[in-house]
């Protein structure tokens, strides 16, 4: 077993453990923090795949933006901490059937095998292209999305204020 394979297994176990805490946790704040760890584990797996740009985007967008916004929404909502808030899923049986079906499909795909390749295909350099596109062609939609997220945050703060 190579060092890279050992690191992959450690990261995979860590990421799956954090994802299980997100799904099975009863405390929503702990689940949100475990979601941060899940996203960081995915970013580390992207680094192992030599996709550093995707890892950086994962950390910046998901960990730095989406999850923090989710934590703010949780903390600004007063009803979350009340005793009447339910955390139980009513569709456990349907979820278990869907999960079992996906597991059977994954086991079938793993047993069938993937044909061996001579090596990983050479991918074009997409990072400079994406950077130029975000700063030229898609600059306006990118800024509109950021203003929309800011407006949602301000709206959540205004609604959550107790007056």
The whole-number average pLDDT for the span 98-111 is 89
Taking the domains of the chain in order of start, what are their residue ranges? Answer: 1-84, 125-163
pLDDT of residue 44: 93
- What is the rounded average pLDDT of the residues 42-52? 88
**Tens digit of each residue's pLDDT (9 = 90 or more) over 64-73:** 888 877 877 7
| pLDDT, greater one: 96 or 83 | 96
Checking if the pLDDT of 52 tops 70, the result is yes
The DSSP annotation for 127-142 comes to HHHHHHHHHTTTHHHH
Q: Which residue has the tokens 């975000």?
A: 134
- If one compares 86 and 50, the residue with the highest pLDDT of the two is 50
pLDDT at res. 32: 84
Both tokens assigned to 98: 């869907």
Q: Please state the rounded mean pLDDT for residues 80-105.
A: 77
Query: Which whole number is the average pLDDT over 131-160?
Result: 79
CB-facing half-sphere around the CA of 12: CA atoms within 13 A: 8
Look at residues 157, 162, 163 and name the one whose alpha carbon lies nearest to residue 76: 157
pTM of the predicted model, to two decimals? Answer: 0.60
Q: What is the DSSP letter of 131?
A: H
CATH-assigned architecture of domain 1-84: Up-down Bundle (1.20)
Report residue 51 as tokens: 């996709």
């Amino acid at each position: 077993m190579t060092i890279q394979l050992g690191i992959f297994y450690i990261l995979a176990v860590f990421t799956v453990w954090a994802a299980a805490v997100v799904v099975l946790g009863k405390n929503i704040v702990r689940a949100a923090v475990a979601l941060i760890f899940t996203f960081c584990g995915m970013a580390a797996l992207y680094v192992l795949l030599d996709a550093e740009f995707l890892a950086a985007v994962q950390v910046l967008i998901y960990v730095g933006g989406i999850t923090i916004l989710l934590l703010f929404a949780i903390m600004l909502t007063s009803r979350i901490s009340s005793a009447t808030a339910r955390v139980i899923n009513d569709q456990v049986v349907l979820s278990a059937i869907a999960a079992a079906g996906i597991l059977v499909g994954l086991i079938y795909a793993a047993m069938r095998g993937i044909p061996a390749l001579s090596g990983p295909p050479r991918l074009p350099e997409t990072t400079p292209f994406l950077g130029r596109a975000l700063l030229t062609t898609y600059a306006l939609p990118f800024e509109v999305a950021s203003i929309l997220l800011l407006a949602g945050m301000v709206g959540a703060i205004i609604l959550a204020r107790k007056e």
